[in-house]
Each structure stands twice: as C-alpha cells, then as structure tokens.
Amino acid sequence: MNYKESIEYLYNSRPYGKIKYGLFRIKELMDRIGNPQDSYPVIHITGTNGKGSVAAMITSVLAQMGLKVGLNISPHIISFRERFQINGQLISKSKVVSLLEYIMPHLNKMDKKGEDFAPSFFEVVTAMAFHYFRQEKVDVAVIEVGLGGKYDASNVIKKPLVSVITTVGLDHRKILGNTENEISKEKAGIIKPGAPVVSGVTRPVIRRVIEKIAKENGADTYFFWRDFYVQPQKMSIGHNLFNYVGENHHNDLPLSLNGAHQYQNAAIAIKTLEIASKRLNMKLLSDILKKGLSKVQWPGRFELLKAFGKGIILDGAHNPDGTRTFVESVRNYFGNQKIRLLFGVLDDKDYMNNIRLLSPISSEVIVTKVSSHRSTSPEKVFREWKKYVDNVIYIENPEIAFYELLNTEKPVVFCVGSLYLVSEIRQAILGGKENA
C-alpha cells in the first residue's frame, strides 16, 4: 500500500463525513493497540470556534520550551498530513502508510462484527494519531476534538493535563443539540476528574453548565475575564501586540495570527500553558511566550496571502459566531470600507444568518459551490444574498469564481465560508494537491 492508496482507503472504505456517534468502537480499537493515549501527557481542546488557533499557539510555545510536542487537528486545509504534526512538522507520507498498516488487522477484525462495530474515518485517524505520538515518544500531545466532546473519538483520554473549552455556540445542531445548553453539556463531556478546565466562555448561563460538570468531577475552572484577561495594544495584520494578565503578567506579547478574537484565543492558550507548565514542572517565561506566539501559523483564519498583485484574505467563518468575528476583524483592520467577497458554504450551516451578518460590509459578492457532498443547493445561497446586496453573481466552479474575484481594482479581496472552499482557494494560490 502506498500513500495514495492509504488516503483512498480512509476516504472510501471509511466514508469521510459519515458520523458514528458513541465511544465503544474507539475504546475497543484503542484497547487492541495498547491504549497509546495513556503513554504521554495530553492537553485536550474543544469549542465551537477557536480550538485550532488555541492548539497551534499552545504547541508553538511548548516547542519553544524545548519539548517534543504532538499536535492532532481536524479538519485539514490542504493535506491530510496536517492532522499529525510534531513541533510543526507534518507527518511523512511513508509514516501515514505504516500507521494505517499497523492498525488495519484490528480494523478487519472489528469490521467482521458488523457495520455498527466498523470504526469510522475519524476513529481510525484518531487511533493513528495516538499511536504515532507514542511511537515518536512525544513529551506532550495537544489533541483537538473533532466534533462536540462527550462522544468524540478523542474522548478516550482518561486524565488530561488540562481540558480546554474555547467557546460554545450553535453549530452542528443536528448532532449536538438545538440549544446552547445542550451543546455546552456535549462539549463539557471532555472534563475529567481532577483535571483543570480553562475556558473562553463568558456567558453566565453557559459558564454555569461547565462549572456544574467540573464541580461534579472535582476539577478547578478558569474562565476568561474572570480569572485571566488580555489588554490589546496594537492591531496590524501579521503584527499584533497585547498584554496578558493571569497568574502572572506578560507585557508586549506579539501575535502573528490576525483578528481581535485571537487575543482571547491567546489568553486561553497562555492560561492553559500556565497550568500545564506547572504540572510538567517547568517555568513559563515571557521570552518563551514571545518567541512561540510570534511564530504561530494557522491557515484559513483571517489569513493574508499575497498573489496575483492582490492581498487575499482567507477565513473559514462558517457559523454565525465565526462570521461575527470575521466582520469585527474587517472593521478593525480596514475601517468602514466595504469588501469584495467570494462566498461558499455547506447546506447544513446557518448560512442565512451568516449572510445577514456579512451583508453590511459587502458591496460585491461572488457565490460559488463548495466542493463537498454537503453542498447541494448553492443557488439558494445566491438567492439569499440577493435579498441584501445588489451586486451578486453566481459562478459554480470555485476556481473560476476565484479568478473573477481577482478581477477588480480593489487591493484586497476576501474568501469566506466553508473551510473546504478556503482549502481549494488556498491550493489555487499556493499550489499543491492532496496526493502529489
């Protein structure tokens, strides 16, 4: 089996996008391979928005502290290999193959018990990540939840260094619940006995849900604006500056990631690092924080790329909370000027509210079809945009739509919506294909 065959197996034999809820399959699979997730300290991160950025910041700083740090994320933007990283280095193609070959005999045995027992795409990938980090003898692993928390495949972690809940909003309602209260309980399902909890949640009603579950588990809680906070100092794309106030004060911290929301994400990351470093018997120094935060890269989150004589900002704002954050960032960096926008979204997202939020800052909009089985009605999205903005066109092919986006005198253009769309446009700009 080569790399291309491995990827095809994962996407086709373990259908990507097919969700199998429950932990009994992943628990059996982990038992079969010796529970690698128990062999190193873990920081476990969930949240509606921000979990990827927080994970990237934590990983970058821990690496600056001299640790070997595994990072498991979902979804990827360009390459499947992004899902498995050590100190910022993507896993090799040959290692992906060997990990899958190691796990496949166990998968075959479980498959024979019937469809309900056959591990899903995400369960297999999660098992591969845990095994990879054991093989590579990481000092700590940073694990991002795929969906929700309580029944996510990553939730076989028994006692994390820290459990992190970045934010809670209405997303994946068909799976996680129709109210923020229900979704809060799902995300708080990663809380484990005695493991500290750090959260960016500020709404009292959601905090109470998290606090109740944490108390039941004897876990201390640390909330943004209650136990730690930030003081923004400067906002300039790629060169943001802030102060952090928590257990310790850290002044003039640089942040390469863009957007006002990244200050909150940085605060969550630093509070997590304060706790984790203590539990690892290490010191978190300001110089280390500055080096780590200045080197963070996280594609597709208000990311500025320069190509074709333009500034092109990519943002995977695919739910109302993410869209509000995007709008705030546009106003912070570009004032009240209206933007030219390429937009594509999946059918199961709240695109009506996303469009309503984006319309006040948009003067020209190109709607396209996202390259996913979950994008079947882009014409409905186009018609929704027409209710708010006069200058709207529909181009089905995303790459053709992107080149039309560039057909303007505006120096900066925007691509917003599904991460699938962001990934495709990013490939058009930078090149590179999944199985190249």
Q: Is the dihedral of CA 8, 9, 12, 16 positive or negative?
A: negative
pLDDT value of position 17: 57
Q: What is the pLDDT of residue 173?
A: 45
At CA 238, angle to CA 235 and CA 243, rounded to 5? 50
Place of tokens 């700590």: 140
> What was the pLDDT predicted at 175?
43
Residues of the chain predicted below pLDDT 50: 172-177, 434, 436
What Cα–Cα distance (Å) separates residue 95 from each residue in 28, 61, 138, 313, 328? 23, 25, 16, 33, 41
Cα–Cα dist 113/37, whole Å: 25
Report how far Cα 293 is from the mean position of its chain's Cα atoms.
17
Residue corresponding to tokens 């695919």: 318
State the Cα–Cα distance between residues 126 and 107, nearest whole angstrom.
13
Q: Are 45 and 55 in contact (CB under 8 A)?
A: yes
Class of 303-430 in CATH: alpha beta
Give this prediction's pTM.
0.89
Query: What local confidence, expressed as pLDDT, does residue 214 receive?
Result: 97
What confidence score (pLDDT) does residue 18 get?
Answer: 65
The pLDDT tens digits of the residues spanning 200-251 come to 999 999 999 999 999 999 999 999 999 999 999 999 998 899 999 999 999 9
Nearest to 153 by CA among 47, 3, 44: 44
Q: With beta carbons less than 8 A apart as the criterion, state whether 148 and 186 touch.
A: yes
Tell me how far apart the 2 most distant CA atoms of the chain are, in Å.
60
Domains of the chain by residue range: 3-294, 303-430
Percent of the chain with pLDDT over 90: 78
3.40.1280.10, 3.40.1190.10, 1.10.3720.10, 2.60.120.560: CATH of 3-294: 3.40.1190.10
Q: What is the pLDDT of residue 331?
A: 94
List the Cα angle 317/15/144 in 5-degree steps: 45
Question: Which amino acid, residue 19?
Answer: I
Distance between CA 38 and CA 431 in Å, rounded? Answer: 38
